């Protein structure tokens, strides 16, 4: 099994430090598991423009890196027989759609693979209601498809979490944040990770900073959102204390790398089994692919709750393979697993760069470095 030598770890540290030195973000964490062992656990910079030192325990907003956590929760319920990937959502959530409508045909598999046809809607802008789960459910029941279900891969940036979260609640009887904490985070020892902050937790999360884009060679219409606006919104305590299963995971790179190390190892780590190997294989196989995503306007590959690799200039690295899988967070974080090398990787920062070329380039640089150094 490939391993990172002391020299390789030193070289990786230099690349990590360089991104901080040139001002790509105020603070960052990088963690790597190889063959079940934590071999890289870097932290540097500060928790914000005027913050304290970033440590490996500093918690950050993980944005869409939250999506695979709740996806695993739903996969567990599939394994338990509570639902099936090809069930229609209305079989478990009758109020979701009226009988005979296009929306009533949406399946669990389509929700997980971003092909449900509900990528965006009016509720996306109703931030003041995101902390009210009853309002969330009502919004998802009222929303109409943008695309015919099953036809168009289109990233469900926020709605993915509302849909998966309510399916988890309907099938388990627990709120999504409680179910995932009890069945994913706690068993795996992800002690610094949760979906939003609970009432008894301090708001000690690193401050986000939005940076102006400075890249010069990508389509300005590509990607999601304005970095400064996103930073401002998710620096608000109310947003951090809400339950937003697609976007407001709070955690560390160390915990995220552990999560991916478990999946890279077939769903088990240190005696804890989150999923069976067969379920991991099903979830991390490409189920939808497009040259122009209906939301992001760029090539995309989707498993069931994760992105899959092997595309040109993706965040998995320049020489990534389709069997790699993981997920990005809004211009700020990325985690992946490589089952062939048995590696779990996570980069977390508090600096939000543009969601497309620039973000992919800086994450891909570190992803490439890890994989190349392992193979030296």
**Which DSSP string do the residues of 273-300 spell out, in sequence order?**
ESS-HHHHHHHTS--EEESS-TTTSS-E
User: pTM of this prediction?
Assistant: 0.95
Q: Would you say 114 and 156 are in contact if contact means Cβ atoms under 8 Å apart?
A: yes
- Please report the domains of the chain, with CATH numbers, ordered by start residue: 1-63+190-373 (3.40.710.10), 71-176 (no CATH)
Task: Say how far residue 39 (Cα) sits from the centre of its chain.
Answer: 22
pLDDT in the model for residue 242: 96
**Distance (Å, whole) CA 167 – CA 305:** 14
Q: For residue 340, which of 327, 323, 357 has the smallest C-alpha distance?
A: 323
C-alpha to C-alpha distance for 290 and 76, rounded to whole angstroms: 28
Q: Cα–Cα distances in Å, from 19 out to 26, 45, 179, 351, 372?
A: 10, 10, 36, 11, 18
DSSP helix/strand/coil, 190? coil
What's the pLDDT at 351?
Answer: 85
- 212-251: per-residue pLDDT in tens? 655 434 455 555 566 777 788 899 999 999 999 999 999 9
What is the structure's pLDDT at 215?
Answer: 45
Distance CA 173, CA 33 (A): 34
Across residues 30-34, what is the average pLDDT?
A: 98
Per-residue pLDDT tens digits for 46-97: 998 888 999 999 999 999 999 999 999 999 999 999 999 999 999 999 999 9
Confidence (pLDDT) at 217: 42
The bridge status of strand 37-45 relative to strand 307-308 is unpaired
Identify whether the C-beta of residue 102 lies closer than 8 Å to the C-beta of residue 297.
no
- Asked if 59 and 206 touch (Cβ cutoff 8 Å), the reply is yes
pLDDT in tens, 334-349: 999 999 999 999 999 9
Query: How confident is the model over 128-142, as a mean pLDDT?
Result: 97
Query: Which stretches of the chain are DSSP H helices?
Result: 6-21, 67-79, 108-112, 133-142, 159-172, 176-180, 186-188, 227-234, 237-241, 253-264, 277-283, 357-375
Across the chain, what does the average pLDDT equal? Answer: 92
CA distance 50 to 335: 27
């Amino acid at each position: 099994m490939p391993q990172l030598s002391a020299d390789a770890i030193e070289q990786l540290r230099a690349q990590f430090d360089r991104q901080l030195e040139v001002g790509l973000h105020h603070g960052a964490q990088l963690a790597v598991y190889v063959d079940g062992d934590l071999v890289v656990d870097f932290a540097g910079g500060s928790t914000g423009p005027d913050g304290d030192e970033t440590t490996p325990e500093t918690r950050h907003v993980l944005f869409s890196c939250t999506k695979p956590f709740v996806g695993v929760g739903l996969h567990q319920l599939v394994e338990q027989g509570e639902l099936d990937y090809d069930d229609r959502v209305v079989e478990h959530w009758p109020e979701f759609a009226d009988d005979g409508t296009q929306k009533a045909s949406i399946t669990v598999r389509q929700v997980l693979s971003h092909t449900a046809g509900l990528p965006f809607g009016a509720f996306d802008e109703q931030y003041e209601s995101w902390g009210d789960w009853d309002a969330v459910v009502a919004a998802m029941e009222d929303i109409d498809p943008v695309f015919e279900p099953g036809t168009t891969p289109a990233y469900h940036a926020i709605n993915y979490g509302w849909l998966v979260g309510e399916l988890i609640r309907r099938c388990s009887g627990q709120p999504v944040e409680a179910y995932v904490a009890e069945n994913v985070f706690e068993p795996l020892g992800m002690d610094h990770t949760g979906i939003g902050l609970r009432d008894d937790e301090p708001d000690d999360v690193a401050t986000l900073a939005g940076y102006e884009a400075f890249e010069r060679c990508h389509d300005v219409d590509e990607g999601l959102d304005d970095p400064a606006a996103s930073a401002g919104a998710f620096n608000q305590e109310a947003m951090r204390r809400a339950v937003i299963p697609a976007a407001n995971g709070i955690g560390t790179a160390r915990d995220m790398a552990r999560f991916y190390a478990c999946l890279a190892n077939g769903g088990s780590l240190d005696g804890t089994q989150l999923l069976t190997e067969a379920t991991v294989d099903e979830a991390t196989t490409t189920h939808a692919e497009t040259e122009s995503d209906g939301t992001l306007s760029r090539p995309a590959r989707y498993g069931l709750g994760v992105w899959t690799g092997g595309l040109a200039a993706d965040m998995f690295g320049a020489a990534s393979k389709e069997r790699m899988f993981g997920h990005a967070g809004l211009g700020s974080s990325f985690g992946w697993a490589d089952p062939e090398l048995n590696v779990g990787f996570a980069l977390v920062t508090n600096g939000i760069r543009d969601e497309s070329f620039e973000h992919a380039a800086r994450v891909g640089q570190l992803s490439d470095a890890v994989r190349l150094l392992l193979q030296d």
